[in-house]
Structure formats: structure tokens, C-alpha cells
Amino acid sequence: MDIRIGIGYDSHEFKPGVPLRIGGMTIDHPEGLAGHSDGDVLLHAITDALLGAVAAGDIGSFFPPGDPRWKNADSAIFLNLAMEELQNAGYRIVNIDTTLVLAAPKIAPIAGEMRARVADLLNVNMEQVSIKAKTPEGLGLDHVAQCHAVALVERVPEPDELKSMSAVIETTRQLEDVVEDLVTSVHGVPKKRTLTPIFDTEDIT
């Protein structure tokens, strides 16, 4: 099996006066995350993990932070681009594991809803997405949100080429056997009994 792993990381400082967006959700909190786009630290980290898994660069190479087109943009746009790169490379997601590091808000009460939202954006099952949260105790990062993401992807198997029956069956007898087996298994018709002569017909004179 051809599998690859990608690692993503992102961080944003909290800022008053902007909505808090994490995992494609708007969360009730006094401050949001500063960023050129909507500052969704979780989706940014997942985007980089997926791009990294297929060696397609990083989020900044596709969406430069100085480009006015991406001002306040929904980070789902970035995630969609990463999914396209993944598919173009011939891979699909096996699972996503993420860890948010922030002092507040508490993620545990909404982790299930957030997992469902991210799974929907990625078009995978919820069981393929893990979202955990830790606090930055003693690191002096209480005003910052960080996210680490790991993506495991596998190559999509190519459909087997169909072989014609003539390429497999070499004789008329083999073809008759195949047809007889099909009729027996589908319709319950008993196989014909083969009568073995009691004497050698070649010796008749």
C-alpha cells in the first residue's frame, strides 16, 4: 500500500473585534484570531498537512498573505484547494489527527460538532477526524492559538482492467463448463452427467 504522511502547523494571536473561527465554525468568544483570512488555525494546519503529504507546497504558496483577494476569506477555500491537490496526485485521506493548543475557549464541549464539521468539509467520515485540545501551561502563550495536524493519505487504487472471457477461456469445453456452472448456481439446474463408454469405441472394427 502506498501511503504518505503530512504535518501541518499554524498559530494566530487573539484579537478583539473579530469573530472567532475554528474548524469552520464561529465560536462565541470575546476575541477572534488575527489573520489575513478568517484566522481559522485548525483548517490552516490541516490544509498544510494535506499539501505536505503530496509535496505540493504550503498554504502560503497558493494564498499569499499579502494578496487582497484573500482578505477575510473563508478558510474552507484553502482546504478545498488542498483536497484538489490531493486528488490530482491520486491520493485520498485515511485519517486526520489534530491538536489545538489554547487557553480559551474550551474545545472539549464542542469537539464533536467540530469534528463533524471538518469531516463534512473533507468529505470523509467523522471517525476519520480527531480533534484534541491542550492548554499552553507555563509557556506564556495564553493569548495565542496554535494547531498541530497530521494527515495520513493513501494512493487510490486504479480499477483492474477487465479481461475478456476469450482471453481466459482457451477451449470450447472450458466455455461449456463455465456456462453450465453459471446455470447451476443461478437457476439450480443440475449439471449434465457425463456418460463414460464401457468399451473403447476406437477398437470397433
143 and 185 within one domain: no
Residues 135 and 191 in one domain: no
pLDDT digits 0-9 by tens, 9-58: 999 999 999 999 999 999 999 999 998 889 999 999 999 999 999 999 99
- Please give the DSSP secondary-structure letter assigned to residue 56: -
Confidence at 205, pLDDT banded by 50, 70, 90: very low
**Are 84 and 178 found together in one domain?**
no
Domain that holds residue 178: 165-203
As for how many domains the chain has, the answer is 2
Model confidence at 164: pLDDT above 50: no
Structure confidence at residue 187 (pLDDT): 54
**Same domain flag for 59 and 138:** yes
50, 83 in Cβ contact below 8 A? yes
pLDDT, tens digit (0-9, with 9 covering 90-100), for 68-115: 888 878 999 999 999 999 999 999 999 999 999 999 999 999 999 999
Sheet holding 129-134, edge to edge: 31-33, 3-16, 144-155, 91-101, 129-134
Q: Scanning the structure block, which residue is given the C-alpha cell 493513501?
A: 154
Please indicate, yes or no, whether residues 183 and 129 belong to a single structural domain of this protein.
Answer: no
State the CATH number of the domain containing residue 40. 3.30.1330.50
